[in-house]
Amino acid sequence: MGMNRGENMRRIRSKDTGPEMAVRRLVHRLGYRYRLHRKDIPGKPDLVFPGRRKVIFIHGCFWHQHPGCREGRLPKSNLAYWLPKLKRNTERDEAALAQLAASGWDVLVLWECETKSLEATRKVLLDFLGPPGVLR
């Protein structure tokens, strides 16, 4: 017999997700060092590069409603529950991005679907972060 929805929902993590762990391994392999989930920075970014004033969020396509993505679609049932919950997530994301920009942080949002190609993710990371070991 399968899991019920409640059991399934409890298993979904907010940090240390598969896509996040893949990006963390890649970033480390490329030679960058970072901090995780700093609570003193708006939005509690997944990866923080304090010396570079850069942060990275790895967003789940469903939970953060990735526009135009198949996984970012609304569920077909129980919309009274899902609409406010998902709307609140996107509002929280927008507020955090605005606060970060106002504080002089550069932000990269990587969507879960974009992390499936490690080579493409590698190029995006190198472009965003600059040369490893060199602070600019």
Under DSSP, the state recorded for 50 is: G
What is the SS3 assignment for 133?
Answer: coil
pTM: 0.87
Cross-strand pairs, 36: 47
Domains and CATH numbers, the chain: 25-129 (3.40.960.10)
| Lowest-confidence segment of 14-18, 76-80, 110-114 by average pLDDT | 14-18
CB 31 within 8 A of CB 22: no
Collapsing DSSP states into helix, strand and coil, what is residue 1? coil
Confidence (pLDDT) at 133: 75
Sheet holding 35-36, edge to edge: 35-36, 47-49, 54-59, 106-111
**Which residues are 47's β-sheet partners?**
36, 56
Q: Give 23-32 pLDDT, tens digit per residue.
A: 999 999 999 9
Per-residue pLDDT tens over the stretch 9-20: 555 556 778 899
